[in-house]
């Protein structure tokens, strides 16, 4: 594994695919087996990147164009990698990251219509060699995912309906295009990427995720005294 002694796993997919529930379940399972686990997310995951997250998700940067947004996502990613992800991997931690570079390829690159060379250059600078050992892509039809995301947000807010964020507001065919783009990444990089059918039960999906991760654990040493860090 490229990130030894740690292990770096990213989780990708459209809105409402159930990534955060599955990350939580996987983290609990790994911790119960004595591994040191860090769960984190993008955009965000470090103080600097969390500051940029607000600018991006509120839509404050939208008027300045998708190129500006792409650079801001990359700035946040660079800080997150340097301050949090790489140091954790060096300590032998298993890092579970909710979205990473593939979200920029898909949201800003494919559906933002930015040139692949521009996205590739930003990616190279932002990840600076720290590429996930494994990327699990949660695949779900856009209409089902968006419906789930909306229900979840409303439930979290009580009786008041919640405004969708900058990216959730986009049209259904844009979300479908993103789904296709994630599948294409998986097709082109079969060694790094695995696709999970996210329409099935939470239990079945958790089983798939464990089956994907278990063979990767050989190179990771369980912590002497496991601790349970979470950055969100």
Q: Which spans of this chain sit near ligand TYD (rule: CB under 6 A)?
A: 15, 41-43, 57, 73, 98-99, 103-104, 107-108, 165, 167
- The two tokens of residue 170 are 């986009």
Of 20 and 194, the one with the shorter C-beta distance to ligand TYD is 20
**Alpha carbon distance 173, 158 (integer Å):** 29
Of 53 and 86, the one with the shorter C-beta distance to ligand TYD is 53
Min dist. Cβ of residue 74 to ligand TYD (A): 8
Q: Mapping DSSP to helix (H, G, I), strand (E, B) and coil, where does residue 219 land? A: helix
Of 52 and 213, the one with the shorter C-beta distance to ligand TYD is 52
CA-CA distances (angstroms) from residue 11 to 58, 134, 192? 22, 9, 12
Of 110 and 220, the one with the shorter C-beta distance to ligand TYD is 110
CA-CA distances (angstroms) from residue 33 to 43, 93, 98, 141, 193? 29, 13, 21, 34, 24
Min dist. Cβ of residue 107 to ligand TYD (A): 3
DSSP-derived pairing of the beta strands 134-139 and 94-98: unpaired
* Separation of CA 144 from chain center: 19
Min dist. Cβ of residue 221 to ligand TYD (A): 29
DSSP string, 89-146: HHTTPEEEEES-HHHIIIIIIITTT--HHHHHHHHHHHHTT---SEEEEEE--HHHHH
Of 112 and 226, the one with the shorter C-beta distance to ligand TYD is 112
Min dist. Cβ of residue 123 to ligand TYD (A): 10
**Alpha carbon distance 232, 29 (integer Å):** 19
Terminal alpha carbon distance of the chain: 26
Min dist. Cβ of residue 116 to ligand TYD (A): 15
Min dist. Cβ of residue 54 to ligand TYD (A): 11
Of 133 and 168, the one with the shorter C-beta distance to ligand TYD is 168
């Amino acid at each position: 594994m490229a990130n030894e002694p740690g292990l770096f796993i990213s989780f990708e997919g459209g809105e409402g695919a159930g990534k955060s529930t599955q990350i939580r379940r996987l983290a609990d399972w790994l911790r119960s087996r004595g591994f040191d686990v860090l769960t984190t997310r993008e955009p965000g995951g470090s103080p600097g990147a969390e500051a940029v997250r607000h600018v991006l998700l509120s839509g404050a940067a939208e008027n300045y164009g998708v190129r500006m947004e792409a650079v801001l996502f990359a700035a946040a990613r660079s800080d997150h990698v340097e301050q949090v992800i790489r140091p954790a991997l060096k300590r032998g931690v298993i890092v579970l990251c909710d979205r990473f570079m593939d979200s920029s390829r898909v949201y800003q690159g494919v559906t933002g219509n930015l040139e692949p060379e521009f996205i590739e250059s930003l990616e190279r600078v932002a990840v600076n060699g720290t590429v996930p050992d494994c990327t699990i892509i949660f695949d779900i039809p856009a209409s089902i995912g968006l419906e789930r995301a909306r229900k979840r947000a409303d439930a979290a807010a009580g009786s008041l309906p919640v405004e969708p964020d900058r990216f959730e507001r986009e049209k259904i065919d844009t979300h479908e295009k993103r789904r296709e783009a994630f599948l294409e990444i998986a097709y082109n990089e079969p060694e790094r990427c695995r696709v999970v059918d996210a329409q099935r039960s939470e239990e079945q999906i958790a089983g798939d995720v464990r089956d994907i991760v278990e063979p990767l654990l050989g190179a990771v040493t369980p912590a002497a005294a496991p601790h349970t860090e979470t950055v969100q």
